[in-house]
Amino acid sequence: MENFALSTTNRTRPICKPVYFTEDEWLSVATKMAESDMPNFSAFCREMLLTGKVKHYDFSVIKEISSSLSHISGNINQVAKRCNTNQSVTTNDVEQLRREYLQLKSLYQERLVKALRKLV
């Protein structure tokens, strides 16, 4: 099959190879793309052809932890603001921050270990 003459200016991948599928073949490819969570066909094909597999990484854990960090950061900022305006900060405020931090740390460690086990 010959290379198609496309406008290759500003392209990092100037070689184009068309691929034809039957309906069943395309259904199989589309299913695998959906499972890999890679919506770009070109990137999916490149990865499959070059490495023989497409790895999918689930970043929902990181988003969840980031959200928790934002919550704790907001609480820390409120305590700092009280301190800077000479308002009282109670032991309960500090203890609540400490508990939230320890919960987040535990969740982070647990999820990180699970994620690392999946990679190995």
Rounded to an integer, what distance in angstroms lies between the CA atom of residue 70 and that of residue 63? 10
Strands (E), the chain: none
Evaluate if residue 6 carries a pLDDT over 60: no
What would the two tokens of residue 115 be? 């994620």
Rounded to an integer, what distance in angstroms lies between the CA atom of residue 49 and that of residue 42? 11
Q: Which tens digit of pLDDT belongs to each residue from 33-91?
A: 888 877 788 988 888 888 887 776 667 777 777 787 787 778 777 777 777 777 777 78
The residues spanned by each domain of the chain are 1-56, 60-119
